[in-house]
Structures are given as C-alpha cells and as structure tokens.
Amino acid sequence: MSEDRVSPGAQGELEAVIGLEIHVQLATATKMFCGCALSFGEPPNTHTCPVCLGLPGSLPVANARAIHFGLMIGLALGSELAPRSIFHRKNYFYPDLPKGYQISQYDEPLCRGGSLGEVRIHRVHLEEDAAKLIHVGASGRIHGSDASIVDFNRGGTPLAEIVTEPDLRSPEQAGEWLRLLRSTLRSLGVSDVNMEEGSLRCDANISLRAAGTEALGVKTELKNMNSFRFIERGIRAEVARQQKLLQGGQELVQETLHFDPGSGAITSLRSKEEAHDYRYFPEPDLLPVSIDEDMLAAARAAMSELPAERSERLQRELSLSGESARSLAFRAELGDFFEAAVAAPAEPAAPAQALANWVTGELAARLPEGQEPRDSRVSPAALAALVGLVAAKRVSVGAGRQVLERLIAEGGDPQAIVAAEGLEALDDGDELAAIVAAALAANSDAAERVRQGNAKAIGPIVGQVMRDTKGRADGTEVSRLIHEQLGV
C-alpha cells in the first residue's frame, strides 16, 4: 500500500468523506422531451407517445418549464448558470431505456458550482428518467428465463441531477443536509421531493481517509437509498465495512453497492458486464440551450424564500433559538403553520419562542404519522390562543396539553374548552396549598424521603396533586409548595 493511501495500522482516526448524487423528479405537467402528462400510478403504458417510447423517427423537444426549474435550483444553490448548455446522449442498452441512450448533460451542464449550507455543489444537470421494470419472475418466463415487463409511464420524466462535492463527514450530517436540500427544493416548488415515491433519490460516494489528511481513499458508490433512515443507516454500514477492511489491512475496490435495509447487508452491483463505456456525444436532435435574460428574470421572480434564509429571518425578527428556527425552516409545513400562528391575534399574546416550542414539540409529536399541521383540526389561531393562555399561566402546561389533544381530536376554541372542562389554572394560592398539604399527608413515606434529600421521591406527590387538580396546577408552583411545606 502506498504512503498516501489510508494506512490501516495507524492510530489516527479514520474520517469518512461523503458526496451525494441526488436525482430529483421535477414537478412539471409533462415529460422532459414530450407532451405526455407525468404519471402517478396509472396503469402501465398509458402515458406514452412516439417520443417516450423511442419509436423510429420520433424526436425530443425540451420542456421549457424543466429548464426554468433547473435555473431555480441553480439560483437556490448559488450555482453559476451556463449561458449555453448542451444535452448529450449517454449510450447503453437496458430495457427501461427505450432509445438505447439517455438524454442527459455531460461536460456543459446547466449549473456549475454553488453551495448549500456547508456543502459545496459540484453541478446540477437535467436529464430524462428511465422507465419502470417490473420483475414478473418465473410467472412470465420467456423461453425458460425469468421475465420482466416494461412500463414506460415514468420514462422521460424530467430529472435534475444534483451532485455535491465530497464535503460531508458523517452519515448523520449527510441525512441532515439532505433534509435541508429537500426543504429547499420543496419551498422552490420544483418537486414533490417524496423519497418513498421516488421523486427524490440519493446515491452516496463514500471513502475513508486518515483524519486531517487531504488524500482521498478508494471510494464506493452506494445506490438508490429511498428514505432518510436508509441513507443514514446505509452510509453508516458502508463506513463500518470500509473501516473494517482497511483496519484489517485489506484493499478497497472501487465499485457500486446496494444496501439492503432489511438485512443491513451491502452487496456489490457489479455484474459480469464490462465496465460501462457510455460513448457520450452531443445530442444532434436538440440544439444548445441558451439562457436569456427573460428566462433568468422569470426564474428569479419565481424564487420563494429558501429555508436557510427563513431560518435566519426567524432568528433575527422573532429572536427564536437557532434550533427552533432551523426546525421550522427545514420543515416548511411547520414553519408555515408557525408563522400563521404568530400572525393570528391572541389574547393573551403568545410569545414567539413558546409558540415555536409548541409547534415543533407538542404539536408535531402528537400529529399522526404523515399528517402535516395544516391538515389537522388545529388552526394556527387556536394554537396561538392556547399558547397565550399557558404563557400567561392561566392554563398549566399539563392542562394545555389536554386542550391540545382535544383540539387535535375535535378542533375548537381553546378558551371554550378550558371553560367547559374547568381547566383554568388554580390561581388561588391557598386552595393549591391545601391540596398539596393533603397530598403530603397521603404520601407520608415519599414526603419523608424528599425531606431527606431524595429528589426523585417528589414524583408520586406531584402526581397526586395533578390528579386532584385535574392537571390544572402549575407544576413549578406545586413543586415549590411541596418544598416549602416540607421545609426543605
């Protein structure tokens, strides 16, 4: 093994070097090069035409909106937008590729460079998606071999391929960054960015090197991980595999790998095929794409606030913590709900940070899997009213949670729920003090342990008070009264 390679015996830490390649299906009405409407699970081969079936004599014509979306992505990533870019043919045979080549971009992509967060962007280019192969296995055997059927509905869907520089250092960072990219693309409105449905697909290039060095190790490519969880787990598994090999003194092979989320196994996709030779050449059926001032102006005008900008604004204007601001900005639905709640009149007023905590914490945790706040029964104004009551201590945190659950279940007005259920905070100090005294008496063993300094023993006493007050008591006040009455 040469000196500049990652040396396995070294005591120094190995660091992961990760770059991502993301394919994003663009949310156009029609395919990249023909007028077929995009397909969303329709019966096979009902969204095809001579162009996307690759019929003899058919010709591609590029979708103006796909290029518009490509420019918006480039603007969002701070890329250099090529005034003139060209499409190439990438030649290879596969049943999901009707023409025997994919129209893609090669050495003159639409966008070059840029960054998102701490990760630099290498390039963004446009291309067409492949069709779907459905393996029917032995049931559809052709002359004794397993068979597949090809469905060209997806074939030709516009894709933006975003390639990062190898700037990521951990699986978690990769997952976090991909979330930022996803919310960025979503706020641009250029894609559904749904990983499970395949509108966002991610490959990772992974290598290891001695921490603090610049040389790059042998890299592997981990293909098509279709959820955030799998991406982090897949990368983690591959990093571990490489670590083990290198520390065992073995050589890594540059190859393409598949991660099986079920078993956690990583397998090589290398077939018996010879190395690919895509024979790229300029697509003669399409002229170069020239980006004029009008196209640039239209892309700029269509840009909405990006997550990174939104996070900064929320911190600046509403004094939110960085963490809250990012949570709201990176999950645009939460951010939108939050901002609507901030704008809603609430009496007493809901402090922004408290509202942010309720949106990202209490509310987000209680919504059923997959439901976004705007699809729930809770209105932003209702949440603002509730948080206002809690902040003014007119409703305890515990009672507030009960109200939220009612809002999620049935909707309604927090004030009215509080009144109907008698959930007002106990503002009469004497009444609460009496309830605390009764609870201490009923839990004398626990009271004694608290007196002797066992802080945890306070639990059952607080629980008793909460039960007796139906949660209307303020937890901090209860705790203070217990200590006061016990003289500790």
Residues that bind Mg ion (CB under 5 A): 161
Find the shortest distance in angstroms from Cβ 87 to Zn ion: 17
Query: Is 140 a residue that touches another protein (CB under 8 A)?
Result: yes
Q: Which does 1 bind (CB under 5 to 8 A by kind): another protein, Mg ion, Zn ion, none?
A: none
Sites for another protein among residues 106-135 (CB under 8 A)? 133-135
Q: Are 6 and 209 in contact (CB under 8 A)?
A: yes
82 binding another protein? (CB under 8 A): no
Q: For residue 81, what are its two tokens?
A: 């937008």
Rounded to a whole number of angstroms, the minimum distance from the CB of residue 201 to another protein is 19
Q: Half-sphere exposure (CA, 13 Å, Cβ side) for 180?
A: 20
Phi–psi pair at 314, nearest 5 degrees: -65, -40
**Cβ-Cβ contacts under 8 Å for 35 (sequence gap 6 or more):** 49
Q: Report the distance separating Cα 239 and Cα 27, nearest Å.
A: 34
Cα separation of 467 and 238, whole Å? 51
Which one, 38 or 291, has the nearer CB to Zn ion? 38
**Contact code string over 425-464 relative to another protein, x by CB under 8 A:** ----------------------------------------
Closest to another protein by CB, 87 or 337: 87
Is 287 a binding residue for another protein by CB under 8 A? The answer is yes
In angstroms, give the least distance from the CB of 277 to another protein: 5
The CA distance from 288 to 20, in Å, is 27
Does 91 bind another protein (CB under 8 A)? Our answer is yes
Decide: is 34 part of the binding site for Zn ion (CB under 5 A): yes
Please identify, using beta-carbon distances, which residue of 132 and 233 lies nearer to Mg ion.
132
DSSP classification of residue 33: S
Under rule CB under 5 A, residue 181 binds Zn ion: no
Q: Which listed range, 36-44, 101-109, 121-129, 421-429, lies at the site for Zn ion (CB under 5 A)?
A: 36-44
Among residues 185, 210, 177, 208, which one has the least CA distance to residue 73?
Answer: 185
What is the DSSP code string of 129-184?
---EEEEEEEEEEETTEEEEEEETTSTT-EEEEEEE-S-B-SHHHHHHHHHHHHHH
CA-based nearest residue to 103, from 142, 65, 66? 66
At its nearest, how many Å lie between another protein and the CB of residue 59?
5
Among 194, 256, 268, 290, binds another protein (CB under 8 A): 290
Closest separation in Å from C-beta 414 to another protein:
45
Q: Please name the residue that has the structure tokens 């209860």.
A: 478
Question: Which does residue 161 touch among Mg ion, Zn ion, another protein, none (CB within 5 to 8 A, set by kind)?
Answer: Mg ion
Q: Counting contacts by CB under 5 A, is residue 36 touching Zn ion?
A: yes
Other CB atoms within 10 A of residue 336 CB:
17
Q: Interface with Zn ion includes 399 (CB under 5 A)?
A: no
Ramachandran class of 108: left when φ > 0, alpha when ψ lies in -120 to 50, beta otherwise? beta
Site string for Zn ion, 49-78 (x = CB under 5 A): x-xx--------------------------
Between CA 143 and CA 277 the distance in angstroms is: 30
Query: What mask, x for binding another protein by CB under 8 A, covers residues 20 to 59?
Result: --------xxx--xxxxx-----xxxxxxxx--xxxxxxx
Note the residues at the interface with Zn ion (CB under 5 A).
34, 36, 49, 51-52
